Chains A and B, each alone.
Chain A
Amino acid sequence: MAIHTLAVLVENSPGVLARVASLFSRRGYNIDSLAVGPTENPKVSRMTIVLNLEGHALDQVSAQLFKLVNVIGISEMKDSDSLKREILLVKVVNTPATKEIVSKHKAVISDEAAGTISIEAVGQSSEIEALLKELRPHGIRELVQSGLVALERGDKTLSDRTLSTMGTANESNPNSSTADYQN
């Protein structure tokens, strides 16, 4: 099993999240996290899907996903050439020790009450995990995490590649050995 991150551009149409979720459910693909939100184009939403997959399954997942009429483009976001971030909000006991952990991890105290502090952290999965590991012995009262979001490094954008051709017939690349599918 290996973790893969897919960036998926979808038409911003009703039911599109259900279509993607239904596909993953019926084909038995395990989603670790899914984040969806607007993009610079109001007609397009972007999903970042983190999957735990075996062997060649990534090509198959991408191909099945690409069959959805509302899916415009898919790209694998590899660790080496993309920025990946998660958001953590966590409520812990208000003690000097927990405050010290916050400053050590360059997190932010966003709310402070008599008994607790609410901490905000943005970072890679490993950074978030490291922070949580230190906080855990002090008693975590409540925590919430966003799904991971990812953006390619450098001048390239996924949107450029797909949206420039939006609305025109353009050959996709099904013979490609990577998980990249663009219309």
Chain B
Amino acid sequence: MSEEGIGAYLNPAQMAKLNRLALNSRYVVEGTLAGRHRSAQKGASTEFADHRSYMPGDDLKRIDWKVLGRTDKYYIRRYQDETNLRVYLLVDRSGSMNYSSGTHKTKFNYACTLAAALGYVVLKARDAVGMYIYGEKMDAALPCKNSFNELNNALKVLQGYKPAKGTAGADVMHQIAESINRRAMVIILSDLLDDQPEIIKAIAHFRKNLHDVIVFHTLDPVELNLDLKRGAEFEDLETGERMIADPRTMAKEYKDLMGTFIEDYRKACSEMKVDYRLVKTDEPVDTFVRAYLEERKRLSR
């Protein structure tokens, strides 16, 4: 990989494809700059929010004279404040992310590319993007910035990391949830191969803090279907444990288990109003991001 930063993950053609896309939050967020996302603050804006009764001390120019004329009562007009979006990308570099069944990328590489694409889309919309990289522990916490240089630097940092040996996804996510003090959008890029209830609890922690959470469950196609033709001695990427197995004889049971695993995450996310997406590493990133954002835009109308 001779390129550095965003160029290491996305080529110009892919970036061109992502140019006109935008990642909108489904909930109100708290930003630092004026932007096109709904803010938790009510203030000066062009978008009317509601009325409230006049109280002594209010600015007289905010009285709605038309309502006064109709009702003979004093009401103050309130407007929706608009702010920018802060997006935090949580990139998992646990040992299990270092898997690729074929010619396509490892799950970690795919997650990095996906992070680059999403960061690019966020910055193009003049929103801010930050990044957390974690494996067995929190490896890096890069603050939210609305600058391409900052994104480039963050991706350079990411580029410097390789998948770790183990995983501590749930603990790190709790830690990140505590560290983000204003409502923002949190995007988790992980295979979620950890203690499932703990991971669900961590996601719930983000929601409790009123963050808009998106989970990109990144999996290899072979992980899903166990589409292996020959028996082999399999070695766990995180624990190093080995077992001899003929995948053809147990494919049915494996797929049942994997189906249940995915379905549990999907249901939990659905209950928490978390946007859960299954990402297969054999799909082109730009195609996936484009499809996802268009789908999200369609649903938000």
Q: Is B one of A's binding partners?
A: no
